Structure formats: C-alpha cells, structure tokens
Chains A and B, each alone.
Chain A
C-alpha cells in the first residue's frame, strides 16, 4: 500500500513539473487546432456566430480564388528557390570556415550577424531601400554594365527581394553545418589521404555522406520556417503583397483574409491546407532520406 502511494506520488510530481507545458499545450495549441478545423467548415466573420457551410471554403479555395493559387505559387517559388540557395551558401561558407585560424571566430560572427537581425522590421525596411529605384542594388547592377531593375514594379523581381533577404540569413544553418563538420573524425581524412584520395574525392566520399543527417535536419526545419515567413513580405510590400500579388506569401494572404477581410473560416481552411502541405513535404523528405542519408552504424 505504501509503495503504491509512493508510485502515485512520483507520477503526480512528474506531471506537476511538466504542467505548465501541458496546460499551455491544451489551451494555446490543442484546443486552437481543433477549433481551427471546425472553423474551416464554417463561415465566420467574428461578429455573428459561425454558420456551418461544409466543404464550401475548401471548394472556393480550389476552384474560385485565383489569389489563393497565386499566393501558393509565390510561396512555392520562395521556398524551393530560397531554401536550397540558403543551404548551399550555408554549407559553402561552413566548409570555407572549417579550418584552424585565429580569424575564424571573427568571420563566423560576421557571417552569422544577418541571421540574428534578419527577422526585424528594421532590416526589412533596410532591404526595401537597398532595392529602391536609386538604391544600392541598382547602382551595383549599373556598375557591372547592367540596366536598373524596377524592383517594386515587377512581381518576380519583388519576390526576388524576399528570396535574397532569406538567403542573406544563412548564418544559423551555417553554424549547424560547422558543428556537423567538427564531428567528422580527422582520422577518416588521414586514412583517405594515405590511400591517395584527392580533396574532391575526400569531400564527396567522406564529408558529404557524414553531413547528410545534418543536411536532412536543416532542410526540414528551414523549409517549415520558410513556409511561415511573414514579416519581410508584410513590411516590404507594406502589408499588401504587391505588386500584382508578387510578394503575397501564403502566411500574408492568410493574415489578410483573417484580419483585413475578417474571413475567419476561409483563413482556418487555408491554415489546414498549409499544414497538409508541410506534413506531406516533411514525410516526403523523411521517406526519401533512406536513399540519401548516411547513418553511422557503430558507436552510440
């Protein structure tokens, strides 16, 4: 009997410690998830009670709302151009900085700096102005003999602003790659050198395979984060997503449907489509990872 009491107590103590998370999860995550699923089947404008419309919101989304498709296209371009570019830069610079030198600390700091300030409104304002008609980017283009681009007049050019802003912040992925590179045992490279492998062979036979778990991880986290990008699109387009919806990232369009047009049901339905897209993509990456991610079998 006494033992049972002690066992109960241990259970209760455990739950008492994690209770902030549990409560928060129930109130701010689990309940809202369920509520948003329900709302996605309703028409709701915040002021009159939600009315059940079944799959109507989803039907409108897929068949009657060109803006939805436009924003999906813009977002896919943003994610599938931006994330690979960002990760490539991260890996490239990590390889460049993965050596013993006193200056490395300084370089690492400077390359990482944009990641730490990149999410701020100030940086988005700065980016807007770099791409102004008489901004630094156009001056640089002119310097190389190219014509100025009117970045705010062309939808694709405007999206390019957002992509470059995202690529500029490759620093946090770079740090994770650097940590991965440090974990590769130097003995492997020494053995390969003895066997006569050149640097290129060493890179493709040792570095890349051993980095694949980190690449997998970075790909998943960066893709999800990219789908959630909001501040740069909101600030750079002054909340409108223009020109011609060229910067109307998914989260910005969802925000506008919910809080500019008070179309809560539609916004909730959009959120569930986004969740489905992210889940499918993550599952796909996991599934294919069997074929390209290399896991060491020895040690812990």
Chain B
C-alpha cells in the first residue's frame, strides 16, 4: 500500500516537474515583461518582478516607427479572418467532392493533393513571388490571402475523414428527394461537418497569426505589417532600453493564441490525433 502511494507520488512529481520545465520559458517571458528593461537580465534568475511595473506595456503599445501596436493587431486580424474564411469554405467544398462524388480521376487527384502536403515550400517560393509581382500584387495582402481560397490540403484531408464518418444513406435519401449535389452539400453536409470546420478554422488562425514568411516577402509598408513583422521590427531595433517593450509585445502577441488554445484544446487535440498531421 505504501509502495503504491510512493509510486503515485513519484509519478506525479516526475510528470509535473517535466511540465513545469516545459512552460518555464513562457512564464519567464511573462514575468520579465513586468520588470524594468535594465533589470531583466540582472535579475534573470528570479521570476517575481521587483518592482512590478506596467511601463513596458505602455511604451510597447505606443508601437514602433510611428505606428501603434493596435494597428499591427488589426492587420493580423484582417489577414487571419480573410484567409480563414476562404480556406475553410473552399476546403469543405473540395472535401465533399473527394469524399462523396464519383468521378474519373477522384483517386488520382486525391493522391496528388496528399503529395503536395509533403512538397517543401521552397520549390514554389521563387516562381510564386515572380507570379505575384507580375500580377502587381506586391505590397498588398493579396499574395497571402488569395491562395487560401483554393483549398488547403491539410483541411481538405481533415474534412474528408470527417465526412466519411457520416452515413451515406443520408445522401441517398436526399438525392431521392430530388436534392441537387450543391444543396446536399450546403444544407446537409456543411451543418454536420461544423466540428471539422471549427478545427480547421483554429489551425488556420494559428498559421496565419504566426506566419512571418508571407508578410516578409510581400509586405514592404510597415502600415500593412501584421504582429509577427512588428515584433521583428522590435528585434531589429533591439537595444538595452527596449527589451521590456519587446517582451511585453511578445506576450501580447501570444495572448490570442493562448486564449484560443485553452478554449478549443479538445478540437485541436482531436484534429492532430485523427489526421496524424500537424499540417
């Protein structure tokens, strides 16, 4: 009995200790953002700020290059919302086609799609840039947003898995009742795959919020910068005096991600476990 207790305690000590080590860097970042810049590294070993100050958030929010941080957040949100709507709706459409419709080449194109998941982005990087510059899309959010409207393979795969779990009799019944394929999709399938669409939206939110390469390539005007580029600007201008502000705005940039994570972690965990992909 005592042995069992001891093993229980040892197990939780190990698991909780490991968990603490995992989040320690994030806690350190959070706590440091409340320390005066010049004390962050002098007191790197202690977590609790002394004195506890809010100045970093005030100066950080004032922004950089004459633009306050709210503008960058707004830019990020615009990118996230536009790209997510496009990616989720178009992916649902394509997923329905692959999962439920019989046509020649269905298997072939599905295989092609799965292959694109494994294609290194570097291969298309340069020609895509040239293409968008020919179209006159540089310095706008179009190169980042428009491709999202052509379906995202990871989301398509996720939704196909989900649609396959819906009984096919439902389709047949609707078809007998004279329901066209698009109405079948819109009225019956879409409401049923809402959970998968929610999962896709969450992942889309993460990737767009964190994306640096797209904005780095296509946006040159700071007034269009999303949060990731704003943080890069802080880093480029890094001096002892602005560490605090940079830390504070890093924390601000993580807050939406963390909120979404804690609200929707069940969907995220299921999305990864069922597709086996992180995307």
The tally of residues in A whose CB lies under 8 Å from a CB in B reads 91
Q: Which of A51-59, A61-69, A189-197, A228-236 contacts B (4 or more CB under 8 A)?
A: A228-236
Q: Is B58 part of the contact surface with A, judged by Cβ < 8 Å?
A: no
* The residue from B16, B44, B109, B206 contacting A18, defined by CB atoms under 8 A apart: B109
17 contacts between A and B (CB under 8 A): A14-B97, A17-B96, A21-B109, A24-B151, A28-B150, A35-B131, A107-B16, A113-B22, A114-B22, A117-B26, A121-B235, A127-B25, A214-B276, A221-B278, A230-B213, A275-B120, A278-B120
Q: Is B140 part of the contact surface with A, judged by Cβ < 8 Å?
A: no
Distance (whole angstroms) from the CB of B55 to the closest CB of chain A: 18
Q: Is B104 part of the contact surface with A, judged by Cβ < 8 Å?
A: yes
Residue ID in chain B nearest A99 by CB atoms: B11
Query: Which among B26, B128, B276 has the highest number of chain A CB atoms within 10 Å?
Result: B276
Residue ID in chain B nearest A89 by CB atoms: B18
Q: Are A176 and B210 in contact (CB under 8 A)?
A: no
Q: Is A199 part of the contact surface with B, judged by Cβ < 8 Å?
A: no
Instruction: Give Cα A120 to B236, complex, Å.
Output: 16
Q: Is B54 part of the contact surface with A, judged by Cβ < 8 Å?
A: no
Q: Is B178 part of the contact surface with A, judged by Cβ < 8 Å?
A: no
| Contact flag A227-B120 (CB < 8 Å), given A17-B185, A126-B250 | yes
The tally of residues in B whose CB lies under 8 Å from a CB in A reads 93
* The residue from A32, A39, A235, A271 contacting B232, defined by CB atoms under 8 A apart: A235
* The residue from B15, B93, B113, B210 contacting A96, defined by CB atoms under 8 A apart: B15
Q: How many A-B residue pairs have CB under 8 A?
A: 256
Distance (whole angstroms) from the CB of A129 to the closest CB of chain B: 8
Q: Which of B55-114 contact A (CB under 8 A)?
A: 90, 93-94, 96-98, 101-106, 109, 112-113
Query: Which B residues are closer than 8 A to A by beta carbons?
Result: 12, 14-16, 18-19, 22-26, 28-29, 32, 40-42, 44-45, 90, 93-94, 96-98, 101-106, 109, 112-113, 116, 118-131, 133, 147, 149-151, 153, 156, 181, 185, 206-207, 209-210, 212-213, 216-217, 227-228, 231-232, 234-236, 243, 246-247, 250-251, 253-254, 257-258, 261-262, 265, 268-269, 272-274, 276-278
Q: Are B150 and A125 in contact (CB under 8 A)?
A: no
Distance (whole angstroms) from the CB of A28 to the closest CB of chain B: 5
Distance (whole angstroms) from the CB of A56 to the closest CB of chain B: 17
Q: Which chain B positions have C-beta within 8 A of A119? A: 206-207, 210
Q: Are B276 and A122 in contact (CB under 8 A)?
A: no
* The residue from B96, B253, B262 contacting A120, defined by CB atoms under 8 A apart: B253
Residue ID in chain A nearest B207 by CB atoms: A119
Instruction: Give Cα A139 to B98, complex, Å.
Output: 55
Query: Which A residues are closer than 8 A to B by beta carbons?
Result: 10-11, 13-18, 20-25, 27-29, 31-33, 35-36, 39, 46, 93, 96-97, 103, 106-117, 119-123, 125-130, 132, 134-136, 139, 168, 172, 175-176, 178-179, 214, 217, 220-221, 224-225, 227-228, 230-231, 234-235, 238, 250-251, 254-255, 258-259, 264, 267-268, 270-272, 274-275, 278, 282
Q: Which chain A positions have C-beta within 8 A of B251? A: 122
Would you call the interface of chain A mostly helix, strand, loop, or mixed?
helix
Q: Are B104 and A108 in contact (CB under 8 A)?
A: no
Distance (whole angstroms) from the CB of B203 to the closest CB of chain A: 10
Q: Are B272 and A224 in contact (CB under 8 A)?
A: no
* The residue from B28, B120, B247, B277 contacting A271, defined by CB atoms under 8 A apart: B120
